[in-house]
Amino acid sequence: MKKMRIGVLTGGGDCPGLNAAIKWIVYGANYHNSSGKLKKPIEILAIKEGWEGILMLDPKKGVKDERYIQTLTSPVVRRIDRDGGTAIGTSRTNPFAMKQRRGPKKDLSAMVARNMEILGLDALIAIGGEDTLGVANKLHQRYDIPVVGIPKTIDLDLPGTEYSLGFDSAVNNIKVLVDRARTVAGSHRKTAVVEVMGRHSGFLALSGGIVSSAHFILIPEYPFAIADLEALIRDRMHLKSRYTLIVVAEGATERGGQFVARRKVTDAFGHIHLGGIGEILADQIEARTGLDTFAEKLGYLQRGGDPSAYDVKMGFCFGTTAVGLIVNKEFGKMVAVQGGAITAVPLSVLNGTTRVVNVDLMYDRQRLNVRRDSSMNWLVWSGESRR
């Protein structure tokens, strides 16, 4: 019997919760297979290494190209939801701007459509952030490729959804790591500056700062004045506080300043690798106050490790819903959370403005910290603002 063949890939940065989504895509397909309502049973194929896998596929081998293709069954995925990262690999490949050894970047997107035909794919589920899902949206619009997206980003910055896979796990990791920095700072009477991820959105810094009781939180949405931060730290000195803990997003900037980038080279999607604001800030604080100050950049550690229970649950919700969208032929959509409910929105929503912290609602500009008089639902983060 001919099967409905669905491909699944993960693209961009890894994070906890991806494997849960992959598992429940397979289990969701099995549920529909057992319902007796489908004309063709569903088969799930993993496209390994993100968009790279479908581009670098050997056309002569097709589904037998084990470098990039793997059939996913219940026994294969049964235990993977317990692990972080992605069991099928990932990459930052952009089919619309592939780097060449010589010459300018080349648009190889037509190869995706061709190779989907070679693999006999009836639909594709892409799990990723703005870049991976942006590619999925372009493929759907240009080639009418039947795609469905699942949101994944620890930055929580995708428009159209209140939650993305990996965010809760990353906040849990931040709490653990910041608590370790706190014990050092408290023991040695130091000021600790902990840098977390967050290019344009401060949700990760704000949540991580809340759960670790940071004294100050610096976010991209509100450029800070170093003089204001110095004054707040000196207030703590007058109170004879033993230590100070600062959480800063990698995209935070000093008023009138620019992003701090570790490397000027851009990736396949034109992004500069941010990082280093924590060290610069620590040097400025020590020079201005004389306090012994150190910086820690959490980097990849905050998106590593096992998934939280919440991300495992959301992997279930997103994975099963994505399969349902394909069964109902609702292509060109992204699974989303809105008003706390699972729904779906057009992938074209990603053409909109990046989701950022509503400074008026959530942030105390005077205290450089989260507002303490807000009645909003912190679990949903429903308040958005536009930049």
User: Would you say 230 and 285 are in contact if contact means Cβ atoms under 8 Å apart?
Assistant: yes
CB burial of 345-381 (b: ≥16 within 10 Å; e: otherwise) equals bbbebbeeebbbbbbeebbeeeebbbbeeeeeeeeeb
**Among the listed residues 42, 46, 10, the one whose alpha carbon sits nearest the alpha carbon of residue 27:** 42
Quickly tell me which residue has 């959530």 as its tokens.
362
User: Would you say 51 and 113 are in contact if contact means Cβ atoms under 8 Å apart?
Assistant: no
Supply angle C-alpha 324, 332, 343, rounded to 5.
50
CA separation for the pair 195, 175 (Å, rounded): 12
Is 83 designated active site?
Answer: no
Cβ of 96: how many Cβ atoms within 10 Å?
18
3-state helix, strand, coil in the chain (%, to 5): 40, 20, 40
User: Which member of 14, 65, 155, 157 is catalytic?
Assistant: 155
CA separation for the pair 1, 314 (Å, rounded): 33
Catalytic residues: 155
